[in-house]
Amino acid sequence: MKYVMKFGGTSVKDAGYTRICDILSDYKNDKIVLVVSALKGVTDKLIEATRMAELGEEKWINDFLQEVRDVHRSVAKNSIGNLPSWLEERLDKADEELKHVLYGILYLREATPRSVDYVASFGERYSAEIASATLASRGFKSKAFTGGEAGIITNSRFGQATPLMALVRKRVAETILPLLENNFVPVVGGFAGATENGIITTLGRGGSDYSATILANAIDADEVIIWSDVNGIMSADPKLVPEAVTLPEITYEEAMEMAILGAKALHPRALEPVIEKKIPVRIKNTFDPKHDGTKIMETVTRPYHSVVKVISLIRDISMITIKGASMVGEVGMAARFFNKIAESKSNVMMISQSISESNISIVVKKENSKKVYDALEKEFGNEAKKLELEDDVCAIACVGEGMKGTPGVAARMFKAVADEGVNVRMIAQGSSELNISFVVKDTDGLKALKALHKEFIEKSFK
Ligand code: ASP
Ligand code: MG
């Protein structure tokens, strides 16, 4: 089998990268491309460093550079023992480059998106070097690459770059495929790519998953395995609902819906490159590798007992409502409303308008709510319309393909919630019927989540 395996920052704890080697020993007869993320917290810190450099905080930057050095040296020592001199040199070179870029920002007092991407990419560069050296120390043939070196060529939308797949395939065929033929394990730093001219870009936060699936597409892998620290995708957050179960299989569509909802399991765009080639993606637990985890695929092979597969609680949101009889029949009202929100540079997460047309409600991130409200107030304040902002709400989303065309799902859903005495403030269902979301008071969120989990998941598995 040909695999692309991605290890997240949480997979690399005290034992360093040695655990990756242990896992790979179970795949001795397979061809493997490894993708690694930065160590936990490193990317956040790197991005913070660009801001501190912009502020001219030279001492902070120097302390930070020392810290980056120490953290990676220490993980490398835990993984390998005495570091071979070639690895020391490569790590020194990365340290030196990072210092130069940060000083560049410090002198200019300007962090452009392009320089932020360059700085942010270092976490994965260190990881790939250390992971590859660890493999080598354990007898694997291995070579480290940055995303750009491996052939992940992207457009120049810094911070949110998109791969240019035709070019990627061509480059990867030259860089990675020959190594696989010779039983090497190429280790590619995730998250970053490069433009055709070699300028470093990043694929968006959490982008190492995306790197893995881009490479899987390029090498025609049989499967992608995303190694994390949970046993796959679960029916609800087990920290909130202890009865949550692992889903053995889910479809690409369901997984995308969940990723967009912020289930940390997967980068929202990560499935695009594999859907086209129907390459399955498995989410497995680095610390429980025998557990099958969750397989994400085109169509599931086993029947699932419940129409709803996952229930998520989304916090830190706000609901904004505009109402007034003057809105009824006012052509262009919705366009004006959404234009103003767009101009405030805020994303709309949920939308609902009743057929009476006398009100529209939307949900935005709480951090943007004031901005959106003010923009709307400015536009509509002098008209006979009323604006309301509610900050003390949360949303609940039920996801599952089984809801499609199954009557009575919404009835069961709202009965379960009503039986708990919870009032529903707003409802939205996309016409894909894959997801029903609704808004309740923040204080009712957990109660509603548990009630729905009992109704749809726990009852179905009895
Ligand atoms: N290190 C990057 C981030 O923190 C990418 C990743 O972890 O997937 O966003
Ligand atoms: Mg991640």
Q: Which residues surround ligand 2, an ion (CB under 5 A)?
A: 206
Pairing of strands 192-194, 200-202: antiparallel
Pairing of strands 142-145, 185-189: parallel
Instruction: Confirm or reject: Cβ of 157 under 6 Å from ligand 1.
Output: no
- Range 310-461 has CATH code 3.40.50.960: no
Pairing of strands 350-353, 281-285: unpaired
Range of weakest confidence among 78-92, 249-263, 333-347, 400-414: 249-263
Instruction: Confirm or reject: Cβ of 208 under 6 Å from ligand 1.
Output: yes
| Å from CA of 316 to ligand 2 middle | 20
Q: Per-residue pLDDT averaged across 88-114, rounded?
A: 98
Q: CA 422 → CA 75, 199, 343, 350, distances in Å?
A: 49, 52, 35, 20
| Å from CA of 12 to ligand 1 middle | 13
Q: Per-residue pLDDT averaged across 338-347, rounded?
A: 92
| Å from CA of 271 to ligand 2 middle | 13
Specify the residue with its C-alpha closest to ligand 1, atom 7.
206
Residues found in the chain: 462
pLDDT single digits (tens) 159-208? 999 999 999 999 999 999 999 999 999 999 999 999 999 999 999 999 99
Q: How far, in Å, CA of 251 to CA of 233, rounded? A: 12
Percent of the chain with pLDDT over 70: 98
Count of H-run helices and E-run strands, the chain: 16, 16
pLDDT at 256: 87
Q: Per-residue pLDDT averaged across 291-320, rounded?
A: 92
pLDDT single digits (tens) 136-151? 999 999 999 999 999 9
Ligand 1 atom at minimum distance from 8 CA: 7
Q: Residue 329 pLDDT more than 90? A: no
pLDDT single digits (tens) 428-444? 887 778 889 999 999 99
pLDDT single digits (tens) 242-275? 999 999 999 999 998 887 665 566 887 999 999 9
* Mean pLDDT estimate for the chain: 93
H or E segment at 34?
Answer: strand 31-36
Neighbours of 1 (CB within 10 A): 10
Ligand 1 atom at minimum distance from 124 CA: 1
- Residue 108 phi, psi (nearest 5): -75, -20
Ligand 1 atom at minimum distance from 206 CA: 8
The domain locations on the chain are 2-297, 310-461
Q: Per-residue pLDDT averaged across 29-45, rounded?
A: 96
Residue whose entry in the numeric block shows the structure tokens 């995306």:
210
Q: Residue 13 pLDDT more than 90? A: no
Q: CA 9 → CA 25, 137, 429, distances in Å?
A: 20, 21, 35
Write the CATH number of the domain with boundaries 2-297.
Answer: 3.40.1160.10
Residue whose entry in the numeric block shows the structure tokens 């340290």:
95
